[in-house]
């Protein structure tokens, strides 16, 4: 027989156990991004048809791959050439949260509607991560394609604290994991070779934005895709300011290098399985060398891709070149270069020790910041190159993305 006093004790004990168990489960559960569950304070509460909800706008001046048109409560972002040989482009209708979606149809482009500003994003390319850091929206990032390759410090910290997940590479993303995270936006890129992730993501009903910065043929063109990212967060004002400062610095130091009287001869790349891929004269790599006051030996090849050449062809033209840059990422010393192929010793640049590689900032997993932070900071990359070719122009500058191969 249970007396009332004993019953109350049992009831209190049971309730206490329930509370403790609930707290334990809550502590063990995955952390939820507070921005995703909270009410979006940027949403319009009372729509006004005549009001301009985007007073801050971007102007695309260096990039050729995207453009944006502004309307009162939505933006139309168009990408006509997302990858080489693409037969169709993409159109994104970015609608201000809390306002009605317009009816827009374009048979020539894939059209998608996305509500802005987005509060959670997954990036499937490390080149997009510096954009998030510069715009101050890293807190919206919930996952990346490969956490080991990341160099952006703000993102690395969030990875270490468990706030940013790993969802696989662009070609083999974990769609199930992405669906669990339920992001409002995924930024990725396309190659058109059948290994892209975006078709699977779209089929799953996810919002995907195609970033085609790698198609740009100039350093500032690639860097300006910061503005593309900013459009999804309504961060136009900040993007204009940041890119404006980068472009100004780049143009100023390029103008100083343009005045040099002597331009050293330069060649790039390395022999890979019998083929040497040399960037064309209209490539972003060639543009860097031109702006740095160098004479690129393949500048007369007027295309933006790479030309597959034989070792013999390279030696014939570049044997007396002053500098050799952008070697194999794994090479750290001259000995390693010669161990790979003794014919490299024939180059004047090798004999003179004028070897510079863009692998000064590589993390322990092989992630190279030249292809991450360097894309967003072309003024720093250009400063490195000018320091190499014309050290007297920037006497105080220390190499950041490049290092001399000793």
pTM: 0.88
> Concatenated DSSP letters for 160-219?
HTT-SEE---TTS--HHHHHHH--SEEEE---SSS--SHHHHHHTT--EEE--GGG-SSH
Q: Which two tokens stand for residue 403?
A: 């290092």
Q: What is the pLDDT of residue 327?
A: 96
Q: What is the pLDDT of residue 337?
A: 96
Tens digits of pLDDT across the chain (406 residues): 444 444 444 444 444 444 444 444 344 333 334 344 344 668 999 999 999 999 999 999 999 999 999 999 999 999 989 999 888 899 999 999 999 999 887 777 889 999 999 999 999 999 999 999 999 999 999 999 999 999 999 999 999 999 999 998 767 899 999 999 999 999 999 988 877 888 999 999 999 999 999 999 999 999 999 999 999 999 999 999 999 999 999 999 999 999 999 999 999 999 999 999 999 999 999 999 999 999 999 999 998 999 999 999 999 999 999 999 999 999 989 999 999 999 999 999 999 999 999 999 999 999 999 999 999 999 999 999 999 999 999 999 999 999 999 9
- Distance between alpha carbon 394 and the CA centroid of its chain, in Å? 27
Among the listed residues 358, 332, 275, 336, the one whose alpha carbon sits nearest the alpha carbon of residue 344? 336
In three-state secondary structure terms, 158 is helix
DSSP assigned state of 55: -
- Distance between alpha carbon 7 and the CA centroid of its chain, in Å? 64
Residue 318, CA distances (Å) to 301, 340, 377 in order: 15, 18, 29
Question: What is the Cα–Cα distance from 205 to 201, expressed in whole angstroms?
Answer: 7
Q: What is the pLDDT of residue 170?
A: 61
Taken in order of first residue, the domains within the chain and their CATH numbers are 66-246 (3.40.50.1980), 260-404 (3.40.50.1980)
| 381, 360 contact by CB (below 8 A) | no
Instruction: State the virtual CA torsion across 321, 323, 327, 331 in degrees, nearest 10.
Output: 110
Residue 2 burial (CB count, 10 A): 8
Residue 381 burial (CB count, 10 A): 22
Nearest-5° Cα angle at 273, 268 to 276: 25
Cβ neighbours of residue 244 closer than 8 Å, sequence gap 6 or more: none
Q: Which two tokens stand for residue 277?
A: 């891929």
Q: Which two tokens stand for residue 337?
A: 């270069």
């Amino acid at each position: 027989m249970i007396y009332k006093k004993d019953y109350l004790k049992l009831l209190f004990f049971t309730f206490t156990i329930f509370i403790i168990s609930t707290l334990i489960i809550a502590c063990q559960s995955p952390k939820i991004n507070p921005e995703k569950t909270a009410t979006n304070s940027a949403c319009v509460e009372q729509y006004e048809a005549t009001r301009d909800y985007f007073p801050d706008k971007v102007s695309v001046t260096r990039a050729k791959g995207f453009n944006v048109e502004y309307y009162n409560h939505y933006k139309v972002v168009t990408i006509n050439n997302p990858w080489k040989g693409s037969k169709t482009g993409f159109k994104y209708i970015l609608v201000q949260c809390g306002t009605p979606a317009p009816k827009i149809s374009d048979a020539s482009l894939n059209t998608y509607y996305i509500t802005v500003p987005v509060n959670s994003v997954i990036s499937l390319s490390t080149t997009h991560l510096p954009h998030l850091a510069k715009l101050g929206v890293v807190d919206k990032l919930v996952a990346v394609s490969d956490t080991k390759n990341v160099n952006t410090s703000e993102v690395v910290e969030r990875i270490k604290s468990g706030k940013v997940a790993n969802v696989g590479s662009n070609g083999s993303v974990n769609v199930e994991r992405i669906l669990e995270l339920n992001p409002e936006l995924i930024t990725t890129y396309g190659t058109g070779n059948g290994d892209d992730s975006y078709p699977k993501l779209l089929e799953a009903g996810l919002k995907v934005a195609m970033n085609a910065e790698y198609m740009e043929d100039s350093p500032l063109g690639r860097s300006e895709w910061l503005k593309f990212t900013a459009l999804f967060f309504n961060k136009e004002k900040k993007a204009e300011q940041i890119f404006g400062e980068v472009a100004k610095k780049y143009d100023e130091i390029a103008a100083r290098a343009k005045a040099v009287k002597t331009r050293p001869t330069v060649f790039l790349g390395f022999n890979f399985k019998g083929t040497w891929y040399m960037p064309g004269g209209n490539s972003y790599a060639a543009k860097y060398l031109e702006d740095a006051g160098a004479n690129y030996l393949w500048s007369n090849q007027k295309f933006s891709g790479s030309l597959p050449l034989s070792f013999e062809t390279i030696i014939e033209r570049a044997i007396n070149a002053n500098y050799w840059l952008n070697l194999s990422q794994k090479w750290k010393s001259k000995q390693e270069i010669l161990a790979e192929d003794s014919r490299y010793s024939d180059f004047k640049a090798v004999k003179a020790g004028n070897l510079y590689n863009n692998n000064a900032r590589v993390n322990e997993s092989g992630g190279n910041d030249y292809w991450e932070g360097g894309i967003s900071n072309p003024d720093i990359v250009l400063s490195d190159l000018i320091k190499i070719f014309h050290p007297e122009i920037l006497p105080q500058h220390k190499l950041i993305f490049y290092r001399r191969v000793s």
